[in-house]
Amino acid sequence: MAKNLLIVESPAKAKTIEGYLGSDFLVKSSYGHIRDLVKTDDAIDTDNKFKQKYEVPADKKAVVSELKKLAKVAETVWLASDEDREGEAISWHLFETLGLKEDATKRIVFHEITKPAILKAIENPRKIDYNLVNAQQARRVLDRLVGFELSPVLWRKVKPSLSAGRVQSVAVRLIVEREREINRFHADAAFKIVAVFHTGKGKELFKAELPHRFDTKEEAKAFLNDSINASFAVSTLEKKPAKRNPAAPFTTSTLQQEASRKLGFSVARTMQVAQRLYEAGRITYMRTDSVNLSDTAIKAAENEIVKAYGEKYHKLRKYKTKSAGAQEAHEAIRPTYFSEHSIDGDASERRLYELIWKRAIASQMSEAEFEKTVAKISISTRKEELTATGEIMRFDGFLKVYMESTDDEGDVTGDTESDNALLPPLEAGQALILNQMSATERFSRPPARYTEASLVKKLEELGIGRPSTYAPTISTIQNRGYVVKEDRDGKPRDYRVLTLDNGVVNENIKTEMTGVERNKMFPTDIGVLVNDFLVEHFKDIVDFNFTASVEKEFDEIAHGSKEWTDMLENFYRPFHHEVQDTLENADRATHERELGVDPATGKPVSVRVGRFGPLVQIGSADDEEKPRFASLRKGQMIETITFEEAMELFKLPKKVGEFEEKEMTVAIGRFGPYIRHNSAFYSLPKGLDPLDVSQEQAIEIIKEKRQKDIEKVIRVFDENPDAQIENGRWGPFVRFGKQNLKIPKGTDIQAITYADVLKWAEEDTKGGKSTKKTTKRATTKKK
DNA sequence: CAGTGAGCGAGCTTCCGCTTGACTT
Mean pLDDT confidence for A374-393 = 96
Q: Are residues A698 and A762 in the same domain?
A: no
Q: Are residues A110 and A33 in the same domain?
A: yes
Instruction: Count CB neighbours of A505 within 10 A.
Output: 19
A736 phi, psi to nearest 5 deg:
-130, 95
Confidence bin at A717 (pLDDT 50/70/90): confident
Residue A487, in any domain of the structure: no
Mean pLDDT confidence for A310-318 = 97
With 0-12 CB in 10 A as exposed, 13-18 as middle and 19+ as buried, what is A584?
Answer: exposed
Confidence bin at A781 (pLDDT 50/70/90): very low
- The CATH code of the domain that includes A34 is 3.40.50.140
Amino acid A669: pLDDT: 66
Most confident of A597-611, A656-670, A677-691, A766-780: A597-611
Contact A229, A381 (CB under 8 A): yes
Residue A179: half-sphere exposure toward Cβ, Cα within 13 Å:
25
State pLDDT tens for residues A285-297: 999 999 999 999 9
- The CATH code of the domain that includes A309 is 1.10.290.10
End of a domain among A713, A740, A763? Answer: A713
Nucleotide B15's nearest residue (CA vs C1') is A147
Is A402 a residue of the active site?
Answer: no
Amino acid A578: pLDDT: 97
Higher pLDDT, A749 or A554: A554
Q: Are residues A78 and A25 in the same domain?
A: yes
Q: Are residues A723 and A638 in the same domain?
A: no
Amino acid A708: pLDDT: 78
Q: Are residues A91 and A107 in the same domain?
A: yes
End of a domain among A310, A345, A366? Answer: A366
Residue A233, in any domain of the structure: no
Q: Are residues A662 and A750 in the same domain?
A: no
Higher pLDDT, A664 or A53: A53
- Concatenate the DSSP letters of all residues of A9-63 into one string: S-HHHHHHHHHHS-TTEEEEE--S---EE-SSGGGEETTTTTEE-EE--GGGHHH
Residue A210, in any domain of the structure: no
State pLDDT tens for residues A548-559: 999 999 999 999
How many Å apart are A615 CA and B5 C1'?
Answer: 8
Mean pLDDT confidence for A616-628 = 81
* pLDDT at position A600 over 70: yes
State pLDDT tens for residues A76-110: 999 999 999 999 999 999 999 999 999 999 999 99
How many Å apart are A91 CA and B14 C1'?
Answer: 27
Mean pLDDT confidence for A218-222 = 97
Higher pLDDT, A212 or A670: A212
Contact A8, A17 (CB under 8 A): yes
How many Å apart are A333 CA and B19 C1'?
Answer: 18
Enclosing domain of residue A270: 252-366
Amino acid A259: pLDDT: 97
Return the percentage of chain A with pLDDT > 70, whole number. 93
State pLDDT tens for residues A30-45: 999 999 999 999 999 9
How many Å apart are A783 CA and B8 C1'?
Answer: 13
Higher pLDDT, A555 or A670: A555
Q: Are residues A641 and A597 in the same domain?
A: yes
Q: How far apart are CA A172 and CA A154, in angstroms?
A: 15
Reference A531, options A541, A546, A521; nearest CA is A541
- What does pLDDT average to over chain A? 89
Crossing angle between the packed helical segments A525-537 and A168-184, to the nearest 10 degrees:
110
Mean pLDDT confidence for A681-701 = 79
A605 phi, psi to nearest 5 deg:
-115, 125
Nucleotide B22's nearest residue (CA vs C1') is A768
Q: Are residues A661 and A645 in the same domain?
A: no
Catalytic residue among A130, A278, A285, A482: A285
Number of domains observed in the structure of chain A: 5
Amino acid A695: pLDDT: 85
Strand B footprint nucleotides (protein C-beta < 7 Å):
1-6, 11-21, 23-25
Q: Are residues A27 and A111 in the same domain?
A: yes
Amino acid A137: pLDDT: 98
Amino acid A765: pLDDT: 58
Mean pLDDT confidence for A530-552 = 97
* pLDDT at position A772 over 90: no
Q: Are residues A665 and A623 in the same domain?
A: no
Nucleotide B18's nearest residue (CA vs C1') is A32
Amino acid A773: pLDDT: 34
Read off the pTM: 0.86
Confidence bin at A406 (pLDDT 50/70/90): confident
How many Å apart are A256 CA and B18 C1'?
Answer: 19
- Measuring from the CA of residue A616 to each C1' atom, give the nucleotide at the shortest distance: B5
Q: Are residues A53 and A122 in the same domain?
A: yes
End of a domain among A318, A345, A366? Answer: A366
- Measuring from the CA of residue A285 to each C1' atom, give the nucleotide at the shortest distance: B19
Residue A431, in any domain of the structure: no
Q: Are residues A29 and A116 in the same domain?
A: yes
- Measuring from the CA of residue A35 to each C1' atom, give the nucleotide at the shortest distance: B18
Higher pLDDT, A586 or A405: A586
Residue A293, in any domain of the structure: yes
Residue A549, in any domain of the structure: no
State pLDDT tens for residues A224-274: 999 999 999 999 999 999 999 999 999 999 999 999 999 999 999 999 999
Q: Which of A16-20, A127-131, A477-481, A685-689 has the lowest mean pLDDT?
A: A685-689
Residue A45, in any domain of the structure: yes
Amino acid A664: pLDDT: 84
Amino acid A738: pLDDT: 65
Residue A89 identity: A
Confidence bin at A724 (pLDDT 50/70/90): confident
* pLDDT at position A698 over 90: no
Amino acid A670: pLDDT: 59
Residue A601, in any domain of the structure: yes
Amino acid A413: pLDDT: 37
